[in-house]
Every structure is written in structure tokens, then in C-alpha cells.
Structure 1
Amino acid sequence: MREGEVEDLFAEDPEPDDPDAPPYWFAGQHLPSDARAMGLSHHVPEGAIIDFAGRLDAGNRRHRIVAWGLLVLFGLPVVLAVLRVLYAF
């Protein structure tokens, strides 16, 4: 890595009024700076999920339904695995 790239990894999120910043509807604009520092982007599955979840608005009813659906989708396998372990005892 070159010297400038290291600083870019830990750069803060751009200001919303910055005229040089890409539009907010472009993919990858809702990733937290910590996720970017770990190397996640909207091109990898984990980064795409974080970017998608970051776009959800709690004030919109449909977005809350989608958030609950994601919670069930990712939480149900964990609950079933724990039940399987408890059933084995």
C-alpha cells in the first residue's frame, strides 16, 4: 500500500453538503467508516448487506417491515442451532 491509501482507509465519512461527494443514491454510500476500514465495500456480500441495511429509514413502515424480515432471516438459523444443541442434551 502507498502512504496515501492508508489515510484514505481511515478517512471520515464525507460531509453531506460536499459538492465533490458522490450522490447519496450510489451504492456503497451508507457503509460506516469502520466497515470501510475493514475492507468491506458494496461489492462483497457482507458489505452489500450492511449498505442495504444502512439505507433503511426507521420512519418508513415498509422499511421497518424489511428490517424485521432481515432480523428473522438472519436470527432464525441461530435460534434453530441453539435449539438443536439444547435438544442433544
Structure 2
Amino acid sequence: PAWVKEEYAPLFLQRGASLPGKAELLRAFGAKLVEWGPLLQRFLRSHDDQVEVLLTFEEYCSSEGVFEGQGENGAAFADLFEAGNQMLLRLLLSLLEP
């Protein structure tokens, strides 16, 4: 976006509307889940915590709640919500396994 400082521009979705752009966004999301999984494991101790993460992801994708009108790029995930939610759920379930 034009309002973003140049140094932060790479953090924003560039090609999200195209099919290859969406595939890349989903791949990057999966990579971040793997990267942040160990940290999430330290904080997500119960099923209630996991449900809260899933609900927050839903709000982010639909630009609702605290994400409403914040200029976040969550709407880019709207078309990918189902696939992203499945990836997130698989990670969360694996975190609770002994």
C-alpha cells in the first residue's frame, strides 16, 4: 500500500488476487505456523486457548472485532480461510499431543 513505509512494504501482500499469489500466501502462512509452533506451544495450554486462536484467525480474515478498520491485510486470507484454518487446526492439535 502507498501509505506504508518502504522498509515495511515486503510485509504486505503483493500478488494476493491471483491464483499463484494465493498459493504463495498459503505456503507462507504454513511456513510461519511451523516457525512459530514452538512458541505457540508455550502459551496454548488448553482447548479453550486453541479455540480462541481459531476465533481470532476468523476475525482477522473477516476484518472484524479488533481488526476492523485497522488497515490489516486479513481480507487477503478470506478466500483461503478454510485451507488456512485447517492448517492452523492441525498445528494446534499437534501441540496438545503428549
Q: Which TM bucket (shorter chain)?
A: 0.3 to 0.5
Q: TM-score, normalised by structure 1?
A: 0.36
Q: TM-score, normalised by structure 2?
A: 0.34
Give the structure, 1 or 2, with the largest relative contact order (CA under 8 Å, sep 6 or more): 2
Higher-helix-fraction structure: 2
| Bigger Rg, structure 1 or 2 | 1
